[in-house]
Amino acid sequence: MKIGVIRFPGTNCDRDVAKAIEIAGGTPEYVWWSEEDLTDYDGIVIPGGFSYGDYLRAGAMASITPVIDGIKSLVKEEKPVLGICNGAQILGEIGLVPGVFITNEHPKFNCEWTPLKVSTNRTPFTKSFKKGEIVDIPIAHAEGRFYTDDIDLLKDQDQIVLQFAEKNPNGSMEAITGICDESGLVCAMMPHPERATEEILGSSDGLNFFKGFL
């Protein structure tokens, strides 16, 4: 399977994501922000980083680039899309997932390993986990606090994908740090699974997100 890895000016986790896709058995290919036709790809990952230096707010500038139209077209074709950290912020910005990721409760960059609860396994990305399973994956963000006006709807539609299992490091509503659209094919998560794909890195819990994707 050929997976497009989106690159914006300021993206800095693209190579890590490409390596994770390779380990999982897929074929990654870098896609620049200026490309609009993504029909050759079986799925898309929007990696973390600081697209356009987080100018205005995280994901705001990236949300109006040509590649966004291509991503929306793939979603209509029911192909999977995973947004990680800055990618999650972008998916919220363009309305492909509900809610937004805003400045941390304590407004500073937070980088640490965090135990996470897999709150649903109905998505391709989490189907290899048991519901309620605890995984260890790092976070690295300053604007990762999840907020939505309709938390009850997310609960009713089983759209909460990941929650902090112990402390809530950024003040997210209900400790949410990963969500999906109604279909489950579009997932936005603030933690970095590509940084937890091999035991030498400290954990391989993140690899199943990419294996499930493929």
Map out the domains of the chain with their CATH numbers: 2-213 (3.40.50.880)
Instruction: Identify the active-site residue in 13, 141, 180, 194.
Output: 194
The whole-number pLDDT of residue 133 equals 97
State yes or no: is 174 an active-site residue.
no
Instruction: Identify the active-site residue in 13, 77, 85, 166.
Output: 85
Give the tens place of pLDDT for each residue, 145-170.
999 999 999 999 999 999 999 999 99
Strands 160-164 and 176-180, bridge-based pairing: antiparallel
Instruction: Identify the active-site residue in 13, 143, 187, 192.
Output: 192
State yes or no: is 194 an active-site residue.
yes
Interior angle at CA 173, CA 172 and CA 175, nearest 5: 60
Q: Which residues pair with 100 in a beta bridge?
A: 147
Please give the structure tokens belonging to residue 116: 């996470």
CB-based contact 174:162 (threshold 8 Å): no
Give the tens place of pLDDT for each residue, 72-117.
999 999 999 999 999 999 999 999 999 999 999 998 999 999 999 9
CB-based contact 97:87 (threshold 8 Å): no
What sign has the CA pseudo-torsion 179, 90, 175, 195? positive
Between CA 143 and CA 146 the distance in angstroms is 9
pTM of the model: 0.96
Give the tens place of pLDDT for each residue, 187-207.
999 999 999 999 999 999 999
Helices (H), the chain: 14-24, 66-76, 86-93, 151-156, 207-213
State yes or no: is 106 an active-site residue.
no
Give the tens place of pLDDT for each residue, 24-78.
999 999 999 999 999 999 999 999 999 999 988 999 999 999 999 999 999 999 9
Between CA 190 and CA 146 the distance in angstroms is 9
CA distances from 27 to 37, 52, 176 (A): 18, 27, 30
Q: Is 33 left (phi over 0), alpha (psi -120 to 50) or beta?
A: alpha
